[in-house]
Structure 1
Amino acid sequence: MDVYEMPYAPQCPVICMDEKPYQLLEETKTPLPMRPGDTQKTDSEYVRNGTCIIFVFTEPLAGWAACNCPETAPGNDWTKEIRHLLDECYPGHKKIILVMDNLNIHTEASLYKRYKPDEARRLAKRLEIHHMPVHGSRLNIAEIELNTMTRQCLTRRIDTPENLNRELGAWEQERNAEIRTVNWHFKSGDAREKLKSLYPKLS
């Protein structure tokens, strides 16, 4: 919570990250198009085309968000997304303060497993990682962004990673054009009072 209360620093922005699995589904029959006063009709049958992971990054104070479904082998996804975030989205920034869920693969150690030491160190030096407490994912602002994207973009069947990224890209472009910032009201004091079960108990 203290991270969210920091003053805005353009060269050292706070970025929140979340991810979700997604089931790729292919239609077996062409859906019937919409008609006046009626919705599109789809058949109940479909073909499963495997699963993928959707990553969402958001800079709450700047009103920016990005989402992507990487087409890489499982285990390399997070490191690839972090490299893209640092080198493509924030190339001139000194450091990124990254807030995300407490998963054991979301660490600097994963960068060293994926890249050569010099490259891993280059990336790690530009990261300041803050993990959410266990069972505290609801405090991650990126979860709000992820839920919004799911409602607005993923309510229909999408069959391939390529088509999924096309849809995600269109949603991202429209969302960023609106520059929707987040006014976060839940402070550190609120967390200590309302989330006592997540704090360690001292004997």
Structure 2
Amino acid sequence: MEDVLDLYHEPYDETRPVICFDESSKALRGHERDPLPAEPGAVARVDHRYTRNGKQRLHISTEPLTGWVNVEITEKRRTSEWIDRMVELADVHYPDANRIRVVMDQLNTHKPAAFYQFFPPDQAQTYLDRFEFHYTPKRGGWLNMAEIEIGVLKRQCLDRRTHQNQNEGGNGLQLD
């Protein structure tokens, strides 16, 4: 716990950003019957029954000191998706950073050694040299600010029915 708190206490350094990372699942639930819109003298009416349309996984990265938040949506939550998010941080979002310090939980898919499963040894080591991983203690996920972002998303928009949005070839969620 002290390790994560000490990290949060450090001043901002763009060459050594602190990124919080977490994942969450969202069940996709559609309407069995179309809702009836609000009319003068009547509120909108939504049937409590729904159809199950699978799940999507949200991968949240946030840099608390700048307010930057990135959400990626995937079908599954595996080590390969975690590796993709870390590579995206290194190559797309922070290509000029010397060291990317990532705060995350101790989920079984968050294994730095897995870089060697997906890349040749020299490339895996190059990525690992750019990362510094800080793990929240078990039952201490509240220390991860990405979890706070997930809570905000759930309260502001993910607490209603959603379904998969395939418009424009996208892999996203459509809120009702």
Per-residue deviation, 1:113: 2.1
SS at match of 1:76: helix
1:102 aligns with 2:106: yes
Where do 4+ consecutive residues of structure 1 move more than 6 Å?
none
The answer for unaligned runs of 5 or more in structure 2 is none
RMSD between superposed Cα atoms in Å: 2.4
- Equivalence for 1:137: 141
Residue of 37, 58, 61 corresponding to 1:54: 58
Q: Structure 1 residues 108, 39: closer, same or farther in 2, change over 3 A? A: farther
One-letter amino acid of the counterpart of residue 85, structure 2: E
Task: Give identity over the alignment, percent.
Answer: 38
- The equivalences for 1:59-74 within 5 A come to 59-71=63-75, 74=78
1:142-173 CA distances to partner (integer Å, 9 max, x unpaired)? 111110011112122111164773559xxxxx
- TM-score w.r.t. length of structure 2: 0.83
Residue of 140, 161, 172 corresponding to 1:165: 172
One-letter amino acid of the counterpart of residue 27, structure 2: Q
Q: Structure 1 residues 164, 144: closer, same or farther in 2, change over 3 A? A: farther
| CA–CA distance in structure 2, aligned partners of residues 39 and 117 of structure 1 | 61
> In proportion to residue count, which structure has more strand?
2
Per-residue deviation, 1:68: 1.6
- Equivalence for 1:45: 49
| CA–CA distance in structure 2, aligned partners of residues 131 and 150 of structure 1 | 23
Aligned length, in residue pairs: 168
Per-residue deviation, 1:117: 2.7
- The equivalences for 1:77-92 within 5 A come to 77-92=81-96
Contact conserved, 2:23 with 2:58, CA < 8 A, in 1? yes
Q: Structure 1 residues 55, 159: closer, same or farther in 2, change over 3 A? A: same
Q: Structure 1 residues 43, 2: closer, same or farther in 2, change over 3 A? A: same
- Equivalence for 2:126: 122
Q: Structure 1 residues 121, 41: closer, same or farther in 2, change over 3 A? A: farther
